[in-house]
Each structure stands twice: as C-alpha cells, then as structure tokens.
Amino acid sequence: MSETRRRFLQELGGLGAAAWAVPFLGAARSGAAPAPPPGRKLGVALVGLGSLSANQLAPALQKTSLCALTGLVSGHPDKAREWAARYGVPDKSIYTYESFDRIKDNPDIDVVYVVLPNSMHAEFTIRAAQAGKHVLCEKPMAISVKECDAMIAACQAARRKLAIGYRLHFEPNNLEMARLAREKVFGAVKVIDAAAGFRIGDPAQWRLDKALSGGGSLLDIGIYALQAARYIAGEEPVAVSAQWSITDPVKFKPGVDESVLFTLRFPSGIVANCSSSYATGLGRFWAGAERGWFEVDPALWYNGIKGRMSGPQGQGPQAFDFPAIDQFAAEMDDFADCVLHDKPTRVPGEEGRRDQRIMAAIYEAAEAGKTVALA
C-alpha cells in the first residue's frame, strides 16, 4: 500500500478525516444545540427532491454511519409519498414548502439539507434555523453576500450549525492537492490553473433563469475552480480580473453567463487562471511549483477523480493512490460528527460567503473590464 493511501486510510478511521481540514478555512460558529441521545443517528430532511437529492444524496444517506433520511420537503406531494415509501419515511415527516415551518415540532429531524435552486437557499436556511434545525446548504451558498450574512446571522441566533455542501473538501485527491501545496512538497506553488464546466442542456431549466440561479456558470460550476484555486493557494485572493462570453444568446440571457475566464492574484504572488463554462466540459485543477507540478483530472466528478504529480527526474508522472469514497456520505457524516460533538465544520457559512464575495467581484471585473481589488 502506498504511503499516501495508508495515510488517508489512517486519517479516515473514526472520521478522523477532519484532521485533513485545510487550516485557512475559517472556524464555524459554535452551536451549543442539544445532541441527540448516544447511538441515535442524526435525522436529515432533504428539501427539494430534484436531481442531486435523487441521484446522489438519498443514496449517499444510505451509506452514512451517523445520518438517516427522516424527512422530505417537496412541492410535489405524490413524489414525496413515493420517496417516503421507498426510504421508510413516515407520512408525518413529509412537508411542502408552505408547511415547512412545522418541522420545528418534529424531533426526528435534526438537520435540514437545502437542495433547492440557488435563490431559495437563503429563505430555507433561515426558516430551518428558526425551526431549531442545523443546516447543510448546497453550493452556491446564496445569490448575494447580503443573503449569506442573513443566513449566518440566523444560524448564529438559533445556535445551530451551518455548513455548505462543498463535497470536494472531503475528496482525498483534492485534499492531497491542498496538502502538497501547504507542505511545499515541490517548493512554493507559483501558478494554478483551474477549470470547471459542463455543457448545459434544457434551455427552460432554472439554472438559466437569473431569478432562480442568481447568475450563470460561475455560481453553479465555476465555483469549483474558484474553490480549488483558494484551497491550493491556501490564501485569499487580493485582486480579480475577468472576461465573460455568451455565444448562444437564445439560451443565455443577460446576467446568465455562458463562460467566464477569471484570474486571481494572491498575496504571496501566486496567480490562478480559472475557467468556468456551461458551453463545454472542463474539469482539471493543476498547480505548478518551484520543483514540480501536481494535478487532479478529472477533478470534480462524483466518481473517478484522479490525481498525479511530477515524478523524480527521468521518470514519468506518479499517480495519487487513494481509495474511492462517496463524497456526499463523507460530507454528511462529517457534519453529523460536528453536530454530535459540537465541533466546527470545515465548510462553514463563512466559507460560502467568501466565495460569494469573490464571485461578485469577478462579475464586476468582467462587466467593467478592469481589475477589481479585494480588500
């Protein structure tokens, strides 16, 4: 067994994967919410039974050690009833968006997982916190910094934890990228190249409706390139420049970008060249350091992420060697562990807010055609 694989397995034991948390990530607010009795799994309610919930989260919940699917929130009662039968959720734990606030009276639900279109994240996070539930909210956290502030404040006021669904913070190859950079295994990183994209289909979907999406490819998929640049650099960017493009004006209306290319400058002088697109498949994070390079490609798939790094002189690249994991199961178990043991999450609301602020600056830079400083 390789050294990297052995180390990952050791760290993973007993959910020790938290020890891999990248240190620049801010600490979560400490919630002193009462923990459920020992031995009981944390009950999770999924809000929005769309593609991610159906294909990733519900199956992942079956693989978690610390969580169970105990609640369903949907605008389609028939679908919710089908889900309830399949997953053994009682009728009393099915809610609509209108009846959602009654979730406060349901002791079987500890965590609300918001899996709705982006513009609905703030409302349901705030309502969940006010109902006394911990919140996992999908990325992007919201559609404005102001909304992020309101979400953080609501969870703080209710003394409940808030985490953002940044699954790659639990994915071993991506964590290895951050470690290689942080420990300067190839010397200091100088240049980062991060690209994330997919070709979007149905023009009628909410992702292309600004009122529901809050933006275009950047908020949805380019956020992964931004995240990678930040967790590899291990610093916060001080300046951004950007250009965006729309080649299909029928599909992409103003305010919904098709592709955005952006550059980030970090305090140490690291520069990151990032791409985000709804026009084509992209998925590679690469870091060039003083004495070598390392990369993940594919970088952000649900399965099959692969990493490699430059080998010793005269030899070819060396592959990373990590076990495949279910990123969503790891993310939910980690959050449950944080709730159960009152520990900070590595992906708190503050982390989502940082991205939101930078993405606003990227749009500003693209629109103004100038570099925007991030104080």
Find where tokens 């910094």 sit. 145
Gap between the Cα atoms of 223 and 203, Å rounded = 21
Active site residue 139: yes
Task: Describe the strand order of the beta sheet including 134-137 as a list of residue ranges.
Answer: 94-95, 67-73, 42-47, 111-114, 134-137, 162-164
Q: How far is the CB of 214 from ligand NDP (least distance, A)?
A: 10
Q: How far is the CB of 223 from ligand NDP (least distance, A)?
A: 8
**Which lies closer to ligand NDP via its Cβ, residue 73 or residue 272?**
73
Q: Sort strands 292-296 and 282-289 into parallel, antiparallel or unpaired.
A: antiparallel
**Which lies closer to ligand NDP via its Cβ, residue 123 or residue 321?**
123
Q: How far is the CB of 231 from ligand NDP (least distance, A)?
A: 15
Helical ranges in the chain per DSSP H: 3-12, 51-52, 58-63, 77-87, 121-130, 145-157, 172-182, 210-213, 217, 223-233, 327-340, 349-368
Three-state DSSP class for residue 374: coil
Q: How far is the CB of 119 from ligand NDP (least distance, A)?
A: 9
**Which lies closer to ligand NDP via its Cβ, residue 74 or residue 241?**
74
Active site residue 302: no
Determine the residue type at 105. Answer: D
Q: How far is the CB of 175 from ligand NDP (least distance, A)?
A: 16
Given 95, 113, 133, 139, which residue is catalytic?
A: 139
Gap between the Cα atoms of 248 and 304, Å rounded = 31
Q: How far is the CB of 324 from ligand NDP (least distance, A)?
A: 16
Given 95, 113, 166, 224, which residue is catalytic?
A: 224
**CB atoms < 10 A from the CB of 33, how many?**
16
**Which lies closer to ligand NDP via its Cβ, residue 120 or residue 289?**
120
Residues that bind ligand NDP (CB under 6 A): 48-53, 74-76, 79, 115-118, 138-139, 165, 167, 206, 212, 220
**Which lies closer to ligand NDP via its Cβ, residue 129 or residue 218?**
218
The sign of the dihedral angle between the CA atoms of 307, 333, 276, 367 is negative
Burial class of residue 281 in the structure, from the number of CB atoms within 10 Å of its CB (0-12 exposed, 13-18 middle, 19+ buried)? exposed
**Which lies closer to ligand NDP via its Cβ, residue 116 or residue 261?**
116
- Which residue's Cβ lies closest to ligand NDP? 50
Q: Sort strands 67-73 and 42-47 into parallel, antiparallel or unpaired.
A: parallel
Catalytically active residues, by annotation? 139, 224
